[in-house]
Amino acid sequence: MKLSETWLQEWAHPKLTRDELCNMLTMGGFEVEEVAPVAADFSGIIIGQVVKIEKHPEADRLQVCEVDVGTSEHLRIVCGASNVTVGMKVPVAMIGAVLPDKTKIKPATLRGVPSQGMLCSANELAFSEENPDGGLLVLPIDAPLGVDMRDYLKLEDYTLDLSITPNRGDCLSVRGVAREVAALSQTPLTNISIAKVAPTNKDVLPVSLQATAECPRYLGRVIRGVKADAQTPVWLKERLRRSGTRSISPIVDVTNYVMLELGQPMHAFDLNKINEEIIVRLSNKGEKIALLDGTEKILDAKTLVIADKKQALAIAGVMGGVDSSVTLLTTDILLESAYFSPTTVAKQRQTYQLNSESASRFERGVDPTMQQEAIERATQLILEIAGGTAGPVIEKTSEKDLPTKAPIKLQKNKVTRVLGLEIAAADIEDIFKRLHFTVLNEDQTQWEVEVPPYRSDLVLPEDLIEELARLYHYDNIPTHPLISALQVPSNEDAGLFHNRLRQSLCDQGFHEIVSYSFVDKKLQALLEPDVLPIELVNPISADMSVMRTNLFPGLINTLLYNKSRQQHRVRLFEIGICFTRSGATILQQARLAGLVSGSAAKEQWGIPARDVDFFDLKANVTNVLELSYPSGELVFKPEPHLAMHPGQTAAIYHQDNRIGVIGALHPAVLQDLDLPPQTKVFAFELDLAALPATQPFHLSEVSKFPEIRRDLAIIVNQAVPAKAIQDTIRSIAGDWLKEVFIFDVYQGKGVSPGLKSIALGLVLQHPTRTLVDEEVTKLIDNVIDELKGQLKAELRS
C-alpha cells in the first residue's frame, strides 16, 4: 500500500519525525518497506506558456518557441518536441536550472538560433508515467505562470510503502492507515466532510438483486451530462501517482481516488450502454464477457456478475467489462458502490486468474456500512471535475445477508495471563476508545466489547488482547520463556510433556523444525493420497493452498532444502497441528513426526560407515514412546501406507490403540521428489492425543542373587517377527526372566531358503534365592517346546 505522507497528514498529523512515524507504524504491525521522495531532485524549473511558434530556419525537426514565464520579457527557446502547440502550459527549465540527471541548463545556440532555456518533457523530469511517449509535459491551463514546479505540485513530499497483512483490509486506504496512526500516537483523527449530494434530476435505473448471499448491498446513482474528456485536477492526479496509480480519465480517476481514500472500491458504467436495468446475479454456464484488461472469459455457473437484460457487464468486485466501460465520449454514467462477499470475490479472482486493486480489497473484507458514504464522496468529486446532474441514490439491501459481528466478551484476568503483565483497567479502556471500540457492558470480571464493522478481523477475545498489546507497545511487555506454543485443552501438562518429547529426540541427534500449516496441494497428495485436504479460499501462494493433513510436507521440504546444500545426514522432527475433515467438522489434531536420511552416525574412525535403516528409526521412536508406555507393551504391525514402502512400513499400537506409523518412503515418492535413486528416507508420525503425559512407575527391589544366562539359537520361518519369538519366551519364562534379547540373525549357507537363524540371550534371576541348574534346564526346555509348538521353530545344532 503506497500513500503520500502529506495526504496521510491531512487525516492524522502526530508531532513525529518521518523516521519516528515509520518506526511507530512498523512496531504497530504495518511494516514500512520503503520511504521515497515523490519526485526526483531538480531545481530552477517554472511554469511557462507557449505564445508563439516559428519554424527553425536551419532544421526541419526543430521549432523556435516564444515562451511567457510571467516576466516582462518572453523567452526564446528552441524545441524539438512533436506535441508543442501555441497556448499550452509546460515546465520551463531556466538558465541555471538543474535537471534530475544533474544536467545544468546553460545558454545555447542550436543551428544558429540562440535558446534561453529548455521546455521539459515528463521523462526529463522523471515523470515518465505522465507521458510515456516522451513529449512535453502538458500542464493544466489554469497553472500559474512563473511558479516553481516543486511548489505548484507540492513535491516536497514522500511516499510511504506499507506492507499490509492480509487480515487488515481496512488499512488499504488512507483513512484506514490514518486511524491506526491516530490510535498509536494518541492524536486526533480528522475526518473529511462528506455531505449528501441533493439530487438535481429524478433519473433512476431499476436494480434487481438476485444473488443476495454474494451481494447483500448494492447502491447505484445516475449522473447525466458529465464531460468525460475533462482534465483531472493536478492535485488528484498527483495523489494517484504517489499511490502508484496511473491517471486515466476524470470518471475513472475519481473512483480510484475514493477507493484509495476511503477503502471502498467503485465502478462506473456508461449508462447508455446498459440495457434497461442492472441485475446482480450468478452467471450462466458458458456465458462470455470481454474485460477491461483485454481478455475474454468464459464464465462458469457460480460467478457473481453485474448484468443487464442482455449480457454480463462486469465480474462483480473484480473487473469491469469493455462493452459498458466509460470512454471520453461518455455523457451519462451509472456509479456503483456495493458490498460483495469476500469469499465470492476471492474465488472469482483465482478462478479467472485476475488481479485488481478492487478485488484485493473486497476479498479482505470492506466495511459493509460504507457504501453510501463512498457514493456521496464520488458524486461530489465528479460533479466538481466533470460536471453533470446527479439523480437519487438507488439502494438494494438484504439485511439478513449482511455480515454481523457479535460483541466480544473479554475476561479481565485473561489479559494478564496472556500478556504476562497487568495493564490498568483505565489504560485498557483508553486503548479501546482510541480504536473506536465500544464497551457495552463491564463488571468485575469482564468487558463486553463491540468493534467497528470495518474490523472484520476481530472475532475472539485473543484478538482484542493482540490489539491491547499493539497499542500498549510491544516494547513495554516483558519477555517470558515460552512453555509451549501447542496447547491441548484436555491436558494441562501437555506443554511440559511436549518439551520432554523434544528433549528425547534432541538427545538422539534430531533437530526440531517449525513449518507452515499451509502446504502445496500436490506435495500433500503425494504424501497422503487417500485423504482429501482442506483447500484455502484465499491462499498466500500456489504452494500454500491447502491445510496439511500430516506433518510430512514440512519435513520433506526441509530435507530437500538441506540435501540441496550438501547436508546429507538429516534427522528432523516437528510437533504441530494437522487438519482433517470429519463430515462438516474440521478436526485439529496434535502430532509428532520425524524423518531420518543419510548415514546412521557421524563420520568417525571407530564405527564403520553405513546408511540409516528402519530399525535405527524404530529404536529412536521406541525411546520416545517409553516416556508414555513400557517398551514391552508396544507393537509394530505391518500395515500399508500409500506413501511408504510396502515391505518396510508398520503401524504402532499400544494394546488395541493405533498411535502412529513408521516406515520408509516409497521409491516412487522419492522419484517424484527428484531425489537420487540410492537415497533412503525413513519417517514416523505419532498422534499426541494417544500418548499419556506420564507413565506410572513400577518399583521393585534389586535382587542380590546371581543372574544366569542361557543362549538359544533357533531356526524359524523368515516371516516370523522377532517380537513374536520374544513374547513367546516371556509367556513361558514368567517372572524369572529378567531380559531376552537378540544378538545374532543369520541367513545363508547352512540355513534353508525361507528360514532364518536367530540367536537369543536369556537372562534369568530369582528375587529371593539362587536358581539351580535343574530348574533352569527345565525352564529352557519348556521354552524350546513352546517355540516349536507355536512358531514351528527348531533348535539349531
Dist. CA 43–CA 40, nearest whole Å: 10
CATH architecture of 207-401: 3-Layer(bba) Sandwich (3.50)
**Which residues of the chain are in CATH 3.30.56.10 domains?**
2-38+157-185, 408-476
User: How far apart (Å, rounded) are the C-alpha atoms in residues 375 and 337?
Assistant: 6
pLDDT band at 485 (very low <50, low <70, confident <90, very high): very low
Which cell numbers in the block locate residue 682?
525413513
Beta-carbon contacts of 695 under 8 Å, excluding residues fewer than 6 positions away, are 626, 627, 628, 629, 630
Q: Which of 160, 219, 157 is CA-nearest to residue 33?
A: 160
> What residue ranges in 181-331 does DSSP mark as E strands?
207-209, 217-224, 266-270, 278-282, 288-290, 296-298, 304-307, 312-315, 319-320
The tens digit of pLDDT for each residue in 269-284 reads: 999 999 999 999 999 9
For the 408-476 domain, the top CATH level (class) is: alpha beta
Q: What pLDDT is attached to residue 699?
A: 63
Domain 708-795 has CATH 3.40.50.970: no
The residue behind cell 524539438 is 80
In the prediction, which pLDDT does 484 show?
Answer: 42
Contact of 727 with 633, CB cutoff 8 Å: no
Dump pLDDT digits (tens) for 565-611: 888 899 999 999 999 988 888 899 999 999 999 998 888 888 888 99
- Give 60-93 as a 3 state SS string: CCCEEEEEECCCCCCEEEEECCCCCCCCCEEEEE
Is the pLDDT assigned to residue 317 strictly greater than 90? yes
CATH of 43-152, one of 2.40.50.140, 1.20.58.2240, 3.40.50.300, 3.30.70.20: 2.40.50.140
Percent with pLDDT over 90 in the chain: 72
Question: Contact at 8 Å (CB) between 559 and 665?
Answer: no
494-690 to CATH, choices 3.30.9.10, 1.10.1040.10, 3.40.1130.10, 3.30.930.10: 3.30.930.10
What residue spans in the chain does CATH classification 3.50.40.10 cover?
207-401
pLDDT, tens only, 606-631: 888 899 999 999 999 999 998 888 86
Per-residue model confidence as pLDDT tens digits over 155-177 = 999 999 999 999 999 999 999 99
**102, pLDDT greater than 50:** yes
Q: What is the pLDDT of residue 123?
A: 86
Q: Which residue has the higher pLDDT, 541 or 467?
A: 467
Which residue matches cell numbers 472484520? 456
413 membership: H or E segment, kind and range: helix 412-419
Nearest of 335, 416, 317, 430 to residue 374 by alpha carbon: 335
Query: Looking at the chain, which residues constitute the CATH 3.30.70.380 domain(s)?
Result: 708-795
For residue 649, is pLDDT > 90? Answer: yes
Does residue 394 contact residue 220 with C-beta atoms inside 8 Å? yes
- Residue range(s) occupied by CATH 3.30.930.10 in the chain: 494-690
User: 109-129: per-residue pLDDT in tens?
Assistant: 998 899 999 999 888 888 755
The pLDDT of residue 488 is 41
Helix (H) or strand (E) holding 96: strand 89-98
Of all residues in the chain, what percent are helix, strand and coil, respectively (each to 5)?
A: 30, 30, 45
Check if CATH label 3.30.70.20 holds for domain 2-38+157-185.
no
Does this model's pTM top 0.75? My answer is no
How confident is the model over 694-699, as a mean pLDDT? 59
